[in-house]
């Protein structure tokens, strides 16, 4: 998207070196005092530094929480000075403080939109997750694939307590591999399809990462609608993991038509180091184009936060003092 014409439903803010100088200075101080960014106490301290962000960025983010603004917000900035080291071959191999300054920049922006939450079943329940290629998972439908297209989807669409907003920060993207996004704003769904898609006739399975960590491969998902909400529908879409009942051809065909529209509306967003994207997980889907991994420390590497507008919504699924949800 950088250097291209504006895209409807996507807002882009390009920050200057002057606008990022002060937050970078405070972030470096916080990292020097305590480099463990999974510490909720550090994030609480960071939340009090809203004034570090330029007013024009705060204004752009103000519409995200009530879902009045753009479903996709790209925030670009000058490349950070901090070296994150080589891309790890696995998320378990990341140095504990290697990405600390970048994580706090991601958190500082994200905290203006929602509260970070995570999953006990993903990356050992870490608040910040790594999105990077892992050998052996090239064709998986997860954030660790590479050679296969990561199909567009709503993050954790299978769960009622899925995040409200997905935040992705680019650490490395030498090949400018695109994150793909499409929004509900451009959908034109016929009346008959609209009625079918709003009925609980679709079963959405968790992805393999959740199931592997949970020690189960056999789940019985509830039947859900894939469209819901007011006149402009909200989405609950994850095509590779969505099933209809045997013989329900009408629902299957309506879903296929919806998927074709979303696929036709996909926009390529190319993130550079330091850039981040905030995606409304109810009004947009996201994915990734394929790329060839090298596994030599230079591969694409993003950091991920998932955000909720209401922490109380998932309180019964989290331990006291934790942001990690259990898998239902």
Percent of the chain with pLDDT over 70: 94
Contact 311, 320 (CB under 8 A): no
Check which CATH number belongs to the domain holding 301 and give it: 3.60.130.10
Both tokens of 248, joined, read 């329900």
Return the axis-axis angle of helices 100-110 and 17-33, rounded to nearest 10°: 120
> What is residue 2's predicted lDDT score, i.e. its pLDDT?
47
N-term to C-term CA, the chain: 38
pLDDT of 302 above 80 = yes
286 is in an annotated binding site: yes
**Mean pLDDT taken over the chain:** 92
In a domain, 57, yes or no: yes
Q: Coil, strand, or helix at residue 154?
A: coil
Return the axis-axis angle of helices 40-47 and 17-33, rounded to nearest 10°: 140
Q: Coil, strand, or helix at residue 134?
A: coil
In a domain, 4, yes or no: no
Q: What is the pLDDT of residues 191-203, one digit of tens each?
A: 999 999 999 999 9
> What is residue 7's predicted lDDT score, i.e. its pLDDT?
59
**CA–CA distance, 302 with 270 (Å, rounded to integer):** 12
**Which pLDDT band, with edges at 50, 70 and 90, does 214 fall under?**
low
pLDDT of 213 above 70 = no
**CA–CA distance, 171 with 165 (Å, rounded to integer):** 20
CB neighbours of 244 closer than 8 A, spacing ≥ 6? 201, 202, 203, 251, 252, 255
pTM here?
0.95
**Which pLDDT band, with edges at 50, 70 and 90, does 94 fall under?**
confident
pLDDT of 252 above 80 = yes
Q: 286: domain range? A: 10-184+268-312
pLDDT of 278 above 90 = yes
Both tokens of 2, joined, read 């950088």
**Which pLDDT band, with edges at 50, 70 and 90, does 3 fall under?**
very low
**CA–CA distance, 124 with 6 (Å, rounded to integer):** 39
139 is in an annotated binding site: no
pLDDT of 212 above 90 = no
pLDDT of 1 above 70 = no
Q: What is the pLDDT of residues 36-71, one digit of tens each?
A: 666 677 787 787 899 999 999 999 999 998 888 899
- What is the number of domains present in the chain? 1
In a domain, 90, yes or no: yes
Phi, psi (rounded to 5 degrees) for 103: -60, -40
């Amino acid at each position: 998207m950088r250097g291209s014409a504006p895209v409807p439903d996507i807002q882009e803010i390009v920050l200057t070196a002057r606008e990022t100088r002060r937050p970078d200075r405070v972030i470096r101080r916080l990292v020097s005092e305590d480099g463990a960014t999974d510490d909720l106490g550090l994030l609480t301290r960071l939340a009090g530094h809203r004034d570090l962000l330029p007013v024009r960025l705060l204004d752009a983010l103000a519409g995200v929480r009530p879902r009045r603004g753009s479903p996709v917000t790209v925030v670009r900035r000058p490349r950070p000075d901090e070296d994150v080291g080589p891309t790890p071959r696995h998320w378990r191999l990341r140095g504990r403080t290697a990405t600390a300054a970048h994580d706090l920049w991601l958190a500082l922006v994200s905290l203006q939109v929602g509260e970070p939450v995570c999953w006990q079943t993903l990356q050992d329940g870490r608040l910040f997750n790594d999105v990077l290629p892992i050998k052996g998972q090239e064709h998986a439908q997860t954030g660790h694939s590479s050679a296969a297209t990561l199909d567009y989807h709503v993050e954790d669409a299978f769960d009622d307590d899925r995040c409200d907003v997905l935040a992705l920060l680019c650490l490395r993207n030498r090949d400018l591999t695109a994150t793909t996004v499409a929004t509900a704003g451009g959908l034109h769904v016929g009346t008959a399809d609209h009625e079918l898609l709003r009925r609980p006739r679709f079963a959405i399975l968790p992805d393999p990462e959740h199931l592997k960590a949970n020690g189960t491969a056999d789940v019985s998902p509830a039947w859900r609608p894939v469209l819901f909400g007011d006149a402009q529908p909200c989405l609950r879409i994850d095509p590779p993991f969505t099933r209809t009942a045997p013989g329900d051809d009408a629902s299957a065909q309506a879903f296929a038509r919806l998927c074709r529209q979303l696929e036709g509306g996909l926009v390529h967003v190319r993130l550079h180091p330091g850039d981040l994207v905030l995606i409304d997980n109810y009004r947009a889907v996201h994915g990734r184009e394929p790329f060839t991994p090298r596994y030599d420390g230079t591969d694409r590497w993003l950091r991920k936060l998932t955000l909720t507008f209401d922490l109380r919504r998932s309180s019964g699924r989290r331990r006291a003092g934790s942001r990690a949800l259990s898998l239902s």
